[in-house]
Amino acid sequence: MNQQDPRLPTHDPAAPRAVVDPIIRIDNLVKTYADGFTALQGVSLDIERGEILALLGPNGAGKTTMIGVICGLISPSAGRATVDGYDVVAEYRAARAQIGLVPQELTTDAFETVWDTVTLSRGLFGLPPDPAHIERVLRALSLWDKRKNMLMTLSGGMKRRVMIAKALSHEPRILFLDEPTAGVDVELRKGMWAVVRDLREQGVTVILTTHYIEEAEEIADRVAVIQKGRILVVDDKATLMRRLGRKTLTVHLLEPVSALPDSLAQDGVSLSEDGTRIAYAYEAGSTEDGDDVDRMLRAMLDAGMRLRDVQTDQSSLEEIFVDLVKEPGA
């Protein structure tokens, strides 16, 4: 575990702040499979109403298992999860009725039509037929023209959209998207995110896993990082990036210097080999109230340096993520 990492919060990482009336509450969930593999080692997580939560983690971290337990595909070994207060095991009808699930695997029937399979989904979730709603869903996902096509005749991207249509057919208040954009072209991916944003507008809570971290960065309100069956960190995306992100100030000099003056000698400051660039790495969060950059530049000017150019870089969520989940000592 990376609990020694000083940048990580010292309090319970699963509850960075109290979520009042969460739509999903996961409480110390454990799942050990029949072969002895423990996929979830006591996961606790509150999911807020109406948020888009990105669940990040390497392969095998437990993302799909966690979703499976909440949606009823997998029985938990210990702990519990509630959806809007309803226990996912004891009160599965009330819990599942609110959830739309788009699993990772691309699985569709073969000989049925798009219309029939989406209609089936609505019925399965206990709602009376509503052709007008199905039409709206199919149109929004650009599937209306394909409604009479057999599923086996559709492309992979279309099948993916059919699975989303099935999940939306019963007007869920919560939508799980497990790797929805894996193997999906750029155009379609953008279309999917537009749909997700629309859903959020309507108050639907969206939980998504993705390998494209820049997507999480773009769309999520909060980010949870899961590794080896444990939640490492969960926080607002902006807070997370500010707290865990690094910034680098690079100053290009007009005239090279042979060594850093004493006034600049401190942790995080380095001089390039040719003496033309000074780099200063600092925590992204410190710019809000700190004067690091100001102090640094003044010190350079005071030391008689002449500046050619100044540039700053911020680490991406991807770099933060890679940094978080990397094996100790790796």
Partner 1 sequence: MNDRPPSPPSAASAPARARPAAPPSFNTHAVWAIYNFEMARTRRTIMQSVISPVLTTALYFIVFGSAIGSRIDEIDGVSYGAFLVPGLIMLTLLTQSVANASFGIYFPRFTGTIYELLSAPISPWEALLGYVGAAATKAILIGLIILATAGFFVPLSIAHPLLMLFFLVLTAVTFSLLGFIIGVWAKNFEQLQLVPLLVITPLVFLGGSFYSIDMLPPFWRAVSLFNPVVYLVSGFRWSFYESSDVGVWASLAMILVFLGIGLFTVWRIFKTGYGLRE
Q: Does 275 participate in binding partner 1 (rule CB under 8 A)?
A: no
If you count DSSP H runs as helices and E runs as strands, how many of each does the chain have, helices first? 10, 14
* CA atoms of 122 and 134, how far apart (whole Å): 9
Q: Is 107 in the site for partner 1 (CB under 8 A)?
A: yes
If binding is defined by CB under 8 A, does position 128 make contact with partner 1?
yes
Rounded-to-integer distance, Cα 146 and Cα 39, Å: 39
Contact 100, 165 (CB under 8 A): no
Decide: is 126 part of the binding site for partner 1 (CB under 8 A).
yes
Verify binding: residue 35, partner 1, rule CB under 8 A: no
| Closer Cβ to partner 1, 140 or 320, answer by number | 140
> What element of type H or E holds 205?
strand 205-209
Cβ-based nearer residue to partner 1, 121 or 315: 121
Query: Which 193-252 positions form the footprint of partner 1 (CB under 8 A)?
Result: 195, 198-203
| Options 7, 25, 49, 159; binder of partner 1; rule CB under 8 A | 49
Q: How far apart are CA 22 and CA 236, in angstroms?
A: 15
Residue 199: CB minimum distance to partner 1, A: 7
C-alpha–C-alpha distance, residues 62 and 26, integer Å = 14
SS3 82: strand
Tell me which residue has tokens 């999903």.
Answer: 24
Contact with partner 1 (CB under 8 A) among 124, 238, 254, 310: 124
Q: Does residue number 123 form part of the binding site for partner 1 (CB under 8 A)? A: yes
Q: Least CB distance from residue 5 to partner 1, whole Å?
A: 32
Give the total of residues touching partner 1 (CB under 8 A). 58
**Is residue 139 a contact point for partner 1 (CB under 8 A)?**
yes
Q: What part of residues 142-181 is at the interface with partner 1 (CB under 8 A)?
A: 166, 168, 173
Pick between residue 36 and residue 304 the one whose CB is nearest to partner 1. Answer: 36
Q: Closest by alpha carbon to 240, among 59, 64, 54, 3?
A: 54
CB 236 within 8 A of CB 221: yes
Contact 245, 324 (CB under 8 A): no
Beta strand 99-102 pairing with 174-178: parallel
Contact residues for partner 1 (CB under 8 A)?
Answer: 21, 33, 49-51, 68, 71-75, 84-86, 91-99, 101, 103, 105, 107-112, 116-117, 119-128, 136-137, 139-140, 166, 168, 173, 195, 198-203
